[in-house]
Amino acid sequence: MFRPSHPFLSPRYFGVVALLLCGIPFFTWADDFFDSSQWKATDNVVENSFQPMVFNAKDTWYDSHYWTSTGWTRIGKGWFHPDKNQWPTLSFICPKEGDLTVSGTMKKRHVAPQTNGVVGRILHNGRELWKAEIDGGDAVGQSHALSLHVKKGDMLRFIVYPRGDIACDTTGWDPLLAYADGEKYQASDSFSTSLITDSVWRYEAETHIPSVAIAPSELETLRSVLKTSVEQGLEKPVDVELWKGILREWKRDDAFQNAARHLTQTRQLLEDLYPDPALPRARLYYGILANLEKNPDPDPLVHYLRIRVLKRDLALSNPLLDQFQEILFVKSRPSSYNHLVGQYFGWRAQKGGSLFVLENPGKSLACRDVLQGKFNDGSVLEPRLSYDGKKIVFSWVRVTDSPKIPWKQAWYPQETNERETDHREYFHIYEVHTDGTGLKQLTHGNYDDLMPVYLPDGGIAFSSTRRRGYARCFWWGFGSRWNVYTIHRMNGDGSNVQTLSWHDTNEWFPEVGHDGEIFYARWDYIDRDAVTHQNLWKMRPDGTNPMAVWGNATPDIHCVFQARPVPDSRKWLFIASAHHSQTGGPLCLLDPAQGVDGLQAVERITPEIPFPESQSREVPHFYHSPYPLSEKYYLVTYSPHPLVFEPGHGVENGLGIYLFDKFGNRELLYRDPELCASNPIPLLARETPPVLPSFLPEHAPNEGRMFVQDIYQGLGSEVKRGSIKQLRVVQIFPKDTRDADVPPIGVAREENGRAILGTVPVEADGSANFIAPAQTPFLFQALDENGFAYQTMRTLTYLQPGEEIACVGCHEPRSAAVGASSPYFNPTQAGSMPLAARRAPSKLDPGKLGGRPFSYAEMVQPIWNARCISCHGGDPDNADFKKCGIDLTGAPDGAFNRSYVFLTKNASFVPRFPLRNQIQVTEPGGRIGALGSGLIAFLKKGHYDVSLTPEEYATVATWIDLNAIFYGVTDPAQQKIQLQGRPIPMQAMK
């Protein structure tokens, strides 16, 4: 961990201060900057992004199949239709050099005088050749006959835009391109139904990216201001292209306005960095600032630029920057699909970029490719630096040229990893020295291994799909590969890969905290909303004691992503991201000591940006991959463009690297004209966090021990001591079929399959002590004397082989938990020890309903068969059935059976946590369960001579308390057996 030196002691300023004190000017005029020809070079800024369309062979429109993208963007044979946000683009790649004539007529195919009409453009290599606007009722249109000289590979694009609403905007346009030698290309004659790589035609969708053009006069004003600033004593700049980019940033940010705000921020920054105005460097800054405050330049642009130049020099004088001379970063293209999970599939990556080092941050754009061009045919993801600052570990995937769009005509995996014959595009983990030597691949095989981080003991933690499984709310567009990645670890050489997390859904961004534990984002939605909880968790480096750190019941921030510990602080810097978008959002500081839930623990560093999705989908700009230098100063990645939500992908060059602070000052360090630049990491050695020993015994059986000190802690004051008799342990099965609700588990939808592992006794003082299987995800239910759940856990936990863990109670802050096998577990003297601690641990009692996946047809339906179907048997000749029409038989009814479909129609009759419910915290008392069930109340009240035994009541209650599931598993063949009322064996973890 590095600590700032005193500003005046920074070696960077020894020479400057000495020369100032001697009265000797320290600068010399040199042609390499102020007289550089780059000042007059054309400002080439990419304004638009073009993405490939896909062919829709199912539908026809205007006598043609068509190519499409999102929304209503379409191109058919001889016609176009735009969407509001994407515009159809017919692109022609010139096959040879020559003189070319481009002719055609753009006219409305859907003639509708009351509509807005459209705009057409023809571009040659991005330069506009022709533009026309036609009204909604214009069936004649406008024609063009353009002559130009083209070179082989030149791009001509024909684009149709809406002039407002997009209703009735289908537009006819069939360009003819003719070379002088007679070779002709008619668009409709070559209309293609597949992506032919050697075709001269392409079907694309244009997305507008707002750009900023800098006028020559503005550049000249900047050059003049920089000269004056150097004469005043500020540092001489060296890189014209960097300063042109800086000027573009300033114009984009506020159009050279808001000088007063920047003046205030400059003073805030100055007083924070230089609280002693008497220091020589401080005197320089205070003097220039005072002059700007008292004597503003009459030219508003000059005044603005002088403030910004001063503020930038001041920001770069931060002593925290003197701790390192270079910054490691990534150049890449954004994923082809924006979603919290899908953006990190190897097969969704786009080719381009590498791992780079910025050699003179803030002064120059000069950088070097650490991988020396060897990895340009793929995509680098989330590098991390070793604690000694000498090695880099990162993920990389080799990328093919196949179309990467969410439609079946594009490449997407159609088999699970083990069944594939085409094993392309998996992320694997690599290591390289910072000087580019020692490159080696650490992981192999047919799984995505990503987001590695060095552990203090020399190992590496990472996320991987090796645990195998699917999320419960996906579809075929996410591919048929296993798409759930959870935390794993391996030795530093790639050997001994171990699954640390047995959670059923995804986990991201493992990071080591100051205490040596692994922190990460975990997607947690057991019987809860699938969108709102991807927040911060932690575990020990051996995978023991997983617990929520913050946010597991806070929906305001959907995703706590890219969290990093702040040096010399208990706080974490993170990005508040969205579920259905690329990673990005406002910058936030988290102080877990202020609470395990709630926004009182969060400080919004950029409050002008809404929490994506939870507050708004209109996110005009966003941050990404922050690196804290302190609680106030950070390296960040920033995009001035709006956050792009599913299914699109981000702007190709949208992200750049900046220095940022809590006062709102953002200074550009690096931007690439073609690619995103992200993941800045100072190249320096850091203090290694403590190595946490593992207390797991070697060669332990696949089980562990759990101890609950007092289950009443956290259950509320209403529960009477002695009323909780048992603890039920319920296994959660990860989903092993691809699509959401295919096949369904129950009416709540997108549920987990589950099985009762067994129950254990709870002592009179609330303590419990028991053995449970390891490497198995499970949750707990606190049961009363009748076997009804008073409280149900809506997350899961798991044990490592040989792990012994203790917790204080039920739903108490998990930070109060202690490991029973660790040296920190120090029970009091025997006479005051909890009752369960005085005996051997209990073994799980599966009872009649446990030891196999739960099945309504097997376990509950027999009760209705014995007690109810004499009247409710579905027999049309039965008088009682004729009277009520209620069929409680086990006859199949869709995916379920008739009794299940009838009983679950009313959610108050059979309570459950439904799909997308917003019940963040379950109040004790079992209201959403058997204790609050209208069915149970109805049966207890009495219905004619029907009377259930206590065992039957407990069975019905257990079914309801398991969220009223019908099946216990997702495998279709196993469900077929369960539907017949037959038991199936316990499902092994993948």
pLDDT in tens, 778-826: 999 999 999 999 999 999 999 999 999 998 887 655 444 444 433 333 4
Distance CA 384, CA 355 (A): 11
Tokens representing residue 462 in the block: 């990472």
Distance CA 744, CA 914 (A): 13
Distance CA 463, CA 489 (A): 8
146-150: long-range pairs with CB below 8 Å, 24+? 146/101, 146/102, 146/103, 146/122, 147/99, 147/100, 147/101, 147/102, 148/99, 148/100, 148/102, 148/124, 149/97, 149/98, 149/99, 149/100, 150/94, 150/97, 150/98, 150/99, 150/100, 150/124
- Under 8 Å between Cβ of 612 and 582: no
Distance CA 471, CA 551 (A): 20
Tokens representing residue 272 in the block: 């924070």
Find the length of the chain. Answer: 990
Closest CA to 917 of 963, 974, 860: 963
Handedness of CA 744, 750, 755, 758 (dihedral sign): negative
Tell me how far the alpha carbon of residue 280 is from its chain's centroid.
46
Strand partners, 622: 639
Tokens representing residue 348 in the block: 């969704």
- The alpha helices in 431-499, defined as continuous H runs, are none
DSSP state of 645: B
Strand partners, 769: 707
Tell me how far the alpha carbon of residue 941 is from its chain's centroid.
50
Closest CA to 159 of 62, 47, 58, 44: 47
pLDDT of 469 reads: 95
**Residue 908: φ, ψ to 5°:** -85, -25
Bond into 801 cis (ω within 30): no
Positions in the chain whose pLDDT score sits under 70: 1-31, 42-49, 193-198, 208-211, 406-409, 811-831, 989-990
Distance CA 563, CA 647 (A): 25
Distance CA 458, CA 496 (A): 13
Distance CA 445, CA 428 (A): 8
pLDDT of 586 reads: 98
Q: What does the buried/exposed string (b/e) look like for 216-231 if buried means 16 or more CB atoms within 10 Å of the residue's CB?
A: eebbebbbebbbebbe
Tell me how far the alpha carbon of residue 707 is from its chain's centroid.
35
Strand 804-807 to 703-708 pairing: parallel
279-283: long-range pairs with CB below 8 Å, 24+? 279/7, 279/8, 280/8, 280/17, 280/20, 280/21, 281/7, 281/8, 281/13, 281/16, 281/17, 281/317, 282/7, 282/8
Tokens representing residue 804 in the block: 């012994």
Distance CA 759, CA 961 (A): 14
**Residue 257: φ, ψ to 5°:** -105, -175
Strand 602-604 to 572-577 pairing: unpaired
Handedness of CA 508, 510, 515, 517 (dihedral sign): positive
Distance CA 853, CA 833 (A): 36
From first CA to last CA, the distance across the chain in angstroms is 40
Tell me how far the alpha carbon of residue 650 is from its chain's centroid.
13
Distance CA 532, CA 530 (A): 6
Identify each DSSP E strand in 471-600 by its residue range: 486-490, 498-499, 507-512, 518-523, 534-539, 547-550, 559-565, 572-577, 587-590
What is residue 242's three-state secondary structure?
A: helix
Closest CA to 655 of 630, 635, 631, 683: 635
Q: What is the 3-state secondary structure (H, E, C) of 370-418?
A: CCCCCCCCEEEEEEEECCCCCEEEEEEEECCCCCCCCCCCCCCCCCCHH
Distance CA 287, CA 275 (A): 14
Biggest CA pair distance of the chain: 113
What is the residue whose two structure tokens read 């000289």?
149
Element (H, E) at 127: strand 127-134
Closest CA to 777 of 760, 757, 761, 762: 757
Residues 495-525 pLDDT 10s: 999 999 999 999 999 999 999 999 999 999 9
Closest CA to 366 of 238, 274, 264: 238
Element (H, E) at 19: helix 14-22
pLDDT of 825 reads: 39
Distance CA 258, CA 251 (A): 11
Strand partners, 201: 92
What is residue 756's three-state secondary structure?
A: strand
Q: What CA dihedral angle connects 416, 417, 420 and 422, to 10 degrees?
A: 130
- Under 8 Å between Cβ of 350 and 397: no
